[in-house]
């Protein structure tokens, strides 16, 4: 074995995004899902839940520093809408490795889509609450 060769070493695959689920503190109920890209940026940002989950999830979004869910903030170019399958929120504020988006949910959705509107997007699924 040639000790100078490292092509047999398997590097752990890095996820293209960071995702953390926070529980809201009482007296609030629900969850805050924190997402941000591992590299690059998502702009404009979009988050979506299945249309069938819209009322129970009550999705709201805010940007903020990683690890520190904001209690308020300003969204630029923000809005919401729906397609045949998804209810979505969007904003022009950029998500970067240094700037997260916080997705406030009364309940976790069955699926969550997030990323750049008309760009790279990711979907996660939950079978039960974390």
Give residue 1's pLDDT band: very low, low, confident or very high (50, 70, 90): very low
The pLDDT assigned to 65 comes to 96
Question: CATH for 17-125?
Answer: 2.60.40
Q: What angle (nearest 5°) sits at the alpha carbon of residue 57, between those of residues 104 and 82?
A: 100
Query: Distances in Å between the alpha carbon of 8 and those of 14, 48, 127?
Result: 18, 40, 36
C-beta of residue 28 within 8 angstroms of C-beta of residue 5:
no
**Domain coordinates in residue numbering, the chain:** 17-125
The reported pTM is 0.86
The pLDDT assigned to 41 comes to 97
Q: Report the chain's mean pLDDT, rounded to a whole number.
A: 89
In the DSSP assignment, the letter for residue 11 is: P
C-beta of residue 59 within 8 angstroms of C-beta of residue 87:
yes
Distance, in Å, from the CA atom of 71 to the CA atom of 106, rounded to the nearest integer, reads: 15
Q: Tell whether the model's pLDDT for residue 4 goes beyond 80.
A: no
Residues 6+ apart with CB under 8 A from 2: none
Q: Tell whether the model's pLDDT for residue 9 goes beyond 60.
A: no
Per-residue pLDDT reduced to its tens digit, 39-70: 999 999 999 999 999 999 999 999 999 999 99
Give residue 71's pLDDT band: very low, low, confident or very high (50, 70, 90): confident
């Amino acid at each position: 074995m040639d000790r100078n060769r490292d092509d047999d070493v398997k590097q752990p695959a890095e996820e293209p995004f960071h995702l953390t689920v926070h529980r809201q503190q009482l007296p609030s109920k629900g969850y805050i899902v924190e997402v941000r890209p591992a590299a690059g940026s998502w702009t404009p940002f979009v988050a979506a839940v299945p249309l069938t989950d819209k009322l129970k999830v009550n999705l709201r979004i805010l940007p903020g520093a990683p690890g520190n869910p904001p209690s308020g903030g300003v969204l630029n170019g923000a809005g919401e809408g729906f397609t045949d399958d998804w209810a979505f929120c969007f904003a022009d504020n950029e998500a970067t490795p240094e700037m997260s988006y916080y997705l406030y949910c009364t309940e976790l959705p069955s699926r969550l889509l997030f990323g750049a509107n008309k760009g790279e997007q990711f979907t996660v699924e939950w079978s039960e609450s974390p």
